[in-house]
């Protein structure tokens, strides 16, 4: 008989928390009890799981009692406080915030890339940044074929990266701008996102990179277990509701032809290759809302260097970029008999 797991979802009323609950249901995760947790103001509200209403409880230490796996999407401050408390109460934490990602004692895991890192967890497992997840899924088969030396990535990230507030702000700004033709004040971003592209996600840090860009740089090195990979990133917010897109250029030690790269990507887990220029077939965020896989296209050899490849990656940042990857980590814990 399949082992049943008591699961807490922390931040259950948020965009990603809600998607985590849907993902647990959609993938028939072996849930014995679902315990949705959130801030005190949301206590008593309800979520639906397998057709039944489940009341939200407060996210506090006592409510992790008897929980096997706690999946967090409550922000870094909450995770810093609550994750160790959940572990103390006996739960394994899968945390979606940036709080634990670069902690040497916490594995940073994408199941298609480095599931073996779960074996050394000490109670807290970090879910990588959404833009990092989709990139390393596509990089893995390339890196296995020939070691990647350098990565140059530019992202085109959706409003959903800022949660429900981000999507709502995009819609409101766009509607008001169409009516007034005046630049709007944004509720969620540094500038109006509607009809705009903002080359600024998260705070600026030393050297002129943003925190989002540095996340991609340092998380990629950790996940792929190589501090020698040179990574540079530019992260841009664009007026798309859901679905991050990325233009990626890689330099490998040995030459990989376009045809071989397409073959590697097509055969890799959780990747859909959409790559036929003759029929204008390539991934777009417009068509990713109900897609779990990472979509890759525009594969071509970089004519400016000997061993270079360019490709285009699109993924649902709420699913694979957050909720789905977290649930897959929980599934992999079960598969590896770690829970």
Catalytic annotation, pick one of 106, 121, 130, 288: 130
Catalytic annotation, pick one of 106, 121, 143, 244: 244
For residue 114, CA distances in Å to 58, 96, 127, 158, 299 come to: 33, 17, 12, 26, 24
Is 200 in the active site? no
Alpha-carbon 203 to chain mean position: 19
Is 130 in the active site? yes
Q: Counting beta carbons within 10 angstroms of the beta carbon of residue 123, is it exposed (0 to 12), middle (13 to 18) or buried (19 or more)?
A: middle
Catalytic residues: 130, 244
């Amino acid at each position: 008989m399949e082992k049943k797991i008591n699961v807490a979802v922390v931040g259950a009323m948020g965009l990603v928390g809600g998607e985590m609950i849907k993902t647990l249901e959609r993938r028939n995760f072996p849930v014995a009890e679902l315990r949705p947790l959130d801030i005190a103001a949301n206590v008593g509200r309800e979520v639906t799981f397998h057709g039944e209403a489940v009341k939200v409880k407060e996210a506090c230490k006592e409510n992790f009692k008897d929980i096997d796996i706690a999946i967090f999407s409550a922000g870094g401050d909450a995770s810093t406080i609550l994750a160790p408390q959940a572990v103390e109460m006996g739960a394994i934490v899968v945390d979606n915030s940036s709080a634990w990602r670069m902690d040497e004692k916490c594995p940073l895991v994408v199941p298609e890339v480095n599931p073996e890192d779960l074996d050394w967890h000490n109670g807290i497992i970090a879910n990588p940044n959404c833009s990092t997840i989709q990139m390393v899924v596509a990089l893995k088969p390339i890196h296995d074929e020939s070691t990647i030396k350098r990565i140059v990535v530019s992202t085109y990230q959706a409003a959903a990266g800022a949660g429900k507030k981000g999507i709502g702000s995009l819609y409101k700004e766009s509607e008001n701008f169409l009516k007034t033709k005046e630049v709007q004040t944004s509720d969620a971003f540094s500038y109006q996102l509607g009809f705009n592209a903002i080359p600024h996600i998260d705070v600026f840090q030393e050297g002129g990179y943003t925190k989002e860009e540095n996340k991609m740089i340092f998380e990629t090195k950790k996940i792929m277990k190589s501090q020698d990979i040179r990574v540079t990133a530019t992260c841009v917010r664009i007026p798309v509701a859901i679905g991050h897109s990325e233009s990626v250029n890689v330099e490998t030690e040995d030459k990989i032809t376009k045809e071989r790269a397409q073959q590697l990507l097509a055969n890799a887990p959780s990747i859909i290759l959409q790559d036929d220029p003759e029929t204008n077939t390539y991934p777009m965020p417009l068509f990713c809302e109900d897609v779990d896989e990472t979509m890759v296209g525009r594969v071509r050899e970089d004519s400016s260097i000997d061993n270079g490849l360019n490709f285009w990656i699109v993924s649902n940042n709420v699913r694979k970029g957050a909720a789905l990857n977290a649930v897959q980590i929980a599934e992999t814990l079960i598969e590896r008999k770690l829970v």
